[in-house]
Amino acid sequence: MMRILAQHAKHYRIRTFRTLSSWANQTLQHRLTEALDQNAKIIPVLQQWRQQGNQIDPSHVRVIIKKLRDSDQSLQALQVSEWMSKEKICSLTPEDFAARFCLIDNVVGLEEAETFFESIPNSARDESVYTSLLSSYTRSDKTMSKAEATFKTMRELGLLTSPSPYNAMISLYSALKNRDKVDELLREMQAGKIEEVLRIWNLYMRSTEQCDNNDYLKVIRLLLKLDDIFGAEEIYKVWESLPLEFDIRIPTTLASGYRKRGMVDEADKLMNSRIIKYRRMNKPINPLLDQWGSRMRMSELKCLIKNLHDSNQFSKALQVSEWMDEKRACSFYPEDYAARLHMVEVVLGKAMETFEKMRELGFLMKPSPFNSMLSFHTQENMVEELLREMEENNVAPDSLMVNKVLRIYAAETNVEAMETFMKMWSG
């Protein structure tokens, strides 16, 4: 080690000190400060002070090491650290070992630093020492396995008590774009404080090119679990202002958080907001369910139904309920079926009312309103009635209606009706 340090020392500028007699009445702190100002070597100052029979305060030496390190004079800092140990100035603390490990890594390299780590007594390997080792490993994806092993050791030793190890691992995983691992670390930090979660989130946002919907959903869920509804609101506002693709899970999750806390008005206001209702929810609900539904929790899907129902979007609420049943997303209970029956009655009643109004006004001249009614009527007699009215109005079925009618007949295994309908359509 000393041979390597001697080689590096050739590259540093060394200035001539004033004579020892001119410093006779100066304190050690003053001498050290003056040496630093002159960019001179520190060890001769410390040696001369001791030769005068004076004691050296270890805290002074530690301050000097830090100053040298902060001023990018890592070689001198390492030399002073080595000298403090060699001269037995004091019993070394874990912080002393951690500082020297970082200096060796910076000046000589990681391999030499690893060798030094192995020489540190087990009793002195506290969180600061392991965190220094971890930070060195997380600087490169080539040492990711060592970083993960070190992090695991720290977990087993109960040394994950501060955000620093998490910061290091999140930085590594963010650089590798491994968001699942980031999510795991955020969940692990939940035994932590809300402000630390937000700090880690801000760190992650700075270290990645762009956060996606999954990232915002994760942190909102986490903050709600920590009962920080206001923090979740702030994150939601940020997400809402971004040009990300609409993700139905995010407003639903926040609305669910409102309802669990009895904040029904806030939940209704959120789901009825202009942005949600017009700019983003002004689309068929089924494509959104096909995209996001399988990734939504059962409680979130049921909350979505509740939110849509309470905001008078009964048709969409019914579609979500039917989608859940069709996909067997969760077990349905009697109250779920009762709620669906109510929605069917409401939707069908409104649909019939609108259809009757269109009939009175003579607006049933296109297949689209008949298609809508077929969505609610799956019995053959109702289908026949609608088809007769279409024939009376000279409205030809479109391809969408053909498929709907054939599905209804097929469900009843009515082959004759299917053939008759197809003859009428082809004619």
pLDDT on residue 20: 40
**pLDDT at site 16:** 33
Report how far residue 261's alpha carbon sits from residue 224's, in angstroms, rounded to the nearest whole number: 10
Q: Is 173 within 8 Å of 181 (Cβ atoms)?
A: yes
What single DSSP character describes residue 142?
A: G
Nearest to 228 by CA among 202, 264, 259, 197: 197
Secondary structure of 158-210 in the HEC alphabet? CCCCCHHHHHHHHHHHHHCCCHHHHHHHHHHHHHCCHHHHHHHHHHHHHHCCC
Are the beta carbons of 47 and 11 closer than 8 angstroms?
no
What is the C-alpha separation between 254 and 217, in angstroms, rounded?
A: 9
Other CB atoms within 10 A of residue 96 CB = 22
User: What is the rounded distance in angstroms from the CA atom of residue 114 to the CA atom of residue 104?
Assistant: 9
What is d(CA 413, CA 343) in angstroms, rounded to the nearest whole number?
Answer: 29
Per-residue model confidence (pLDDT) at position 407 = 78
* Amino acid (1-letter code) at residue 62: R
Q: How is residue 102 written in tokens?
A: 């970082």
Q: How many Cβ atoms from other residues are within 10 Å of residue 350's Cβ?
A: 13
The predicted structure's pLDDT at residue 145: 92
**Do 175 and 169 contact (CB within 8 A), yes or no?**
no
- Nearest Cα to Cα of residue 222 among 243, 247, 191: 191
Q: What is residue 323's three-state secondary structure?
A: helix
Report the SS3 class of residue 230.
helix
Dihedral sign (CA 66, 71, 72, 75): negative
pTM of the entire predicted model: 0.45
CB count in 10 Å sphere of residue 3: 6
- In the chain, how many H helices and how many E strands? 25, 0
Q: What pLDDT shows up at residue 259?
A: 84
Residue 26: HSE in the Cβ half-sphere, 13 Å Cα cutoff: 18
The pLDDT, as a whole number, for residue 104 is: 94
DSSP 376: T
What is the rounded CA–CA span in Å between residue 341 and residue 6?
Answer: 85
Query: Which of left, alpha, beta for 262 (phi over 0: left; psi -120 to 50: alpha)?
Result: left
Do the beta carbons of residue 170 and residue 202 sit within 8 Å? Answer: no
Residues ≥6 apart with Cβ < 8 Å to 250 = 213, 216, 217, 220, 236, 239
Contacts of 106 (CB under 8 A, 6+ apart): 74
State phi, psi for 245 to the nearest 5 degrees. -60, 140
Per-domain residue ranges for the chain?
A: 1-125, 245-363, 373-427
Give me the pLDDT at residue 33, please: 77
Could you state, in chain order, the average pLDDT of each consecutive group of 10 residues for the chain (427 residues)? Answer: 52 39 58 78 85 83 86 88 88 90 93 94 89 91 91 85 81 81 75 69 69 82 84 88 80 87 84 59 66 70 74 73 67 59 62 74 80 70 82 82 79 78 68
Calpha distance 23→32 (Å, rounded): 11
